Amino acid sequence: MMTGGQAVAETLASLGVTRVFGIVSVHNLPIYDALSLHPTIEVTNVRHEQAAAHAADAYSRVTGNLGVILTSTGPGAVNAIPGIYEAAFVSSQLLMVTGQIESRFRGKGKGFLHEYEKQPDMLRTVCRAVASVRYTEDISKDLVGVVDDIRRGRPQPGAIEIPIDLQYRTAEVEILGSPDTDRLPPDTTSLDQAAELLQKAERPIIWAGGGVNISGASEQLTMLAEQLGAPVVTTIEGRGSISEMHELSLGFRTDRVLGMEIFEEADLVFAVGTRFQNYATRVWTLPMPENLIHVDIDPGVIGRNYPAAVAVVGDAKLALEGMLDRIEKGNVDEQFVDRCRKIRAADEQALNEEIGVDHSQIVSIIRRLLPDECPIVRDSTVPNYTWGNRLLQIVRSRTSVRPAAVAIGPGLPLAMGAALGSGCHALVVQGDGGLQLSIGELSACAEHQIPVIVLVFNDSGYNILRIIQDNVLGRKHGTELPKIDFVTVANGMGVEAERVEGVDQFESALARALARQGPTVLDIDMDFLAPIHLALPAHQRGKDD
């Protein structure tokens, strides 16, 4: 016999869950109590449900495991929606466990505390599978059903609501669930066709998307590139699938003018784990050769943006292993590879000139001091768009995290989950406007001593929007913010912090932050740095190239 709350905790444990992010509430007390008492599960208290979702999302990205949040019903569940939306956008394994009012009042519209009778319908807008428990005896079965769907094929969030009376109720509950996940094998005929094309290609490009990191296929991708001698481009989510220090890595630059030259010459693209999103393709104007091999676990994305000569539906790791078994050596033109390397070098030089000497030095300092295994989290801010997504090298798989839906503000809670998942410091590239959207989570970082290093590039406003306004409207509204003293704010929440005035102070401040066990905020005054010259894409300038 056990309570419904205990059934949740025991089922999560059987699924391999060791950490849950959430906030205690009147409608989840039995679950929260059971999780807090469980010997193998740790609860991380956040300050807002959206932050819980972002943290669990990043935790899943860096570990490859299920990320779990616990919220209250009604307002608590609603608060989590933006974070679940981000997890859905980036294909993350996120499970939401939320409460519900007592069974006898549910769906009657009587105005009970936290009542939201259409909560499952709301959750289905951002979750693929949603369960509403009717009996305490069904809690484990219903929970495992949702998790099985989350893990099946392309990962997507799922949710389960449990009425508060069922959480308190005692019953005989059979505990189900396993931490193991079955991979979807690709069709052998498709692999044969892909290998035949790839073996003959003289100017092939490997395109690595986020699916490579999700599948844990970095080693297989790198081996295939080396076996063929083929260069590799990545999407932003695919960064780290091959070390950006590897001689065959071209990094993320398909949206750059120089990057287009590579594809104009390529005779084949082998794309794995990607949807060919707008930024990576210059809003789908990037030229793609007729010989496109598209590998993805979701058949719905193949052919959506570019027609595929060969479609391979299946897990990225299994598909890459299949290709390695079928290809002995490539037929790649070395002069083509050399031209690709020169294009990368030229583009990096151009980028360094655009960001200026101060930001260029900051990039070098970060990469020199930060251990390779530490996650790098980049919020939507100008330093991220310019050097965070391009020049700051990602060396290992699952150490690159950003809001893939390009929201402003998730950086800090994403870093919390990344730090706890990786077991080491997580570095955040953050703007002052974005940090104010989640600044309360500094308190959670202090409570749990989460080793997050927040680099706040403080220019008193939303600078990317300022630039768009200058280019498109010729005037500014709503983009200027009061100057915030983040050192005082952070100290008030129990977080160590320093003000940084220029590059000369940055290196020693970052070294001190890395030496600390807990969180640090570095308030970087942009007035002391040479300005970044950001060239906007055509769709943000409001006109064509």
Q: In this predicted model, what pLDDT tens digit does every residue of 462-510 receive, in sequence order?
A: 877 877 787 788 788 888 888 999 999 999 999 999 999 999 999 999 9
Domain ranges of the chain: 2-171, 188-332, 344-541
- Both tokens assigned to 49: 């449900």
β-pair partners for 461: 480
Given a contact cutoff of 8 angstroms between Cβ atoms, the answer to whether 44 and 21 are in contact is yes
Q: % helix / strand / coil in the chain, to the nearest 5?
A: 45, 15, 40
CATH no. for 188-332: 3.40.50.1220
Task: Give the whole-angstrom CA distance, residue 338 versus residue 353.
Answer: 23
By CB atoms closer than 10 A (0-12, 13-18, 19+), residue 475 is exposed
3 state SS of 138:
helix
Would you state the pLDDT for residue 465? 80
Amino acid at position 358, single letter = D
202 phi, psi to nearest 5 deg = -100, -25
Sign of CA dihedral 43, 163, 96, 170: positive
E strand intervals along 432-526:
452-458, 496-500, 520-525
Say which CATH architecture domain 2-171 belongs to: 3-Layer(aba) Sandwich (3.40)
β-pair partners for 98: 71, 161
Sign of CA dihedral 192, 196, 199, 201: negative
Q: For the packed helices 4-14 and 29-37, what is the interaxial angle rounded to 10 degrees?
A: 50
Would you state the pLDDT for residue 544? 39
Amino acid at position 182, single letter = D
Q: What is the DSSP string of 50-69?
A: HHHHHHHHHHHHHHSS-EEE
Residues in the chain predicted with pLDDT less than 50, given as ranges, are 539, 542-545
Would you state the pLDDT for residue 541? 52
In order of 22, 27, 57, 320, 435, the CA distances from 312 in angstroms are: 39, 45, 27, 11, 41
Say which CATH architecture domain 344-541 belongs to: 3-Layer(aba) Sandwich (3.40)
Would you state the pLDDT for residue 111? 73
By CB atoms closer than 10 A (0-12, 13-18, 19+), residue 30 is buried
Task: Give the whole-angstrom CA distance, residue 53 versus residue 158.
Answer: 12
Q: Which of 515, 513, 540 is nearest to 427 (CA)?
A: 513
Task: Report the Cα 544 to chain-centroid distance in Å.
Answer: 30
Would you state the pLDDT for residue 542? 47
- Both tokens assigned to 475: 């005037």
Would you state the pLDDT for residue 540? 53
520 phi, psi to nearest 5 deg = -145, 140
Instruction: Please determine whether the domains at 188-332 and 344-541 fall in the same fold group of CATH.
Output: yes
Task: Give the whole-angstrom CA distance, residue 89 versus residue 141.
Answer: 27
Q: In this predicted model, what pLDDT tens digit does every residue of 288-340 receive, in sequence order?
A: 999 999 999 999 999 999 999 999 999 999 999 999 999 988 889 999 999 99
In order of 68, 271, 533, the CA distances from 325 in angstroms are: 37, 18, 47
Task: Give the whole-angstrom CA distance, residue 410 versus residue 419.
Answer: 14
Would you state the pLDDT for residue 469? 83
Amino acid at position 397, single letter = S
Task: Give the whole-angstrom CA distance, residue 312 versus residue 297.
Answer: 8
Would you state the pLDDT for residue 203? 97
Direct distance between the N- and C-terminal alpha carbons of the chain, in angstroms, rounded to an integer: 68
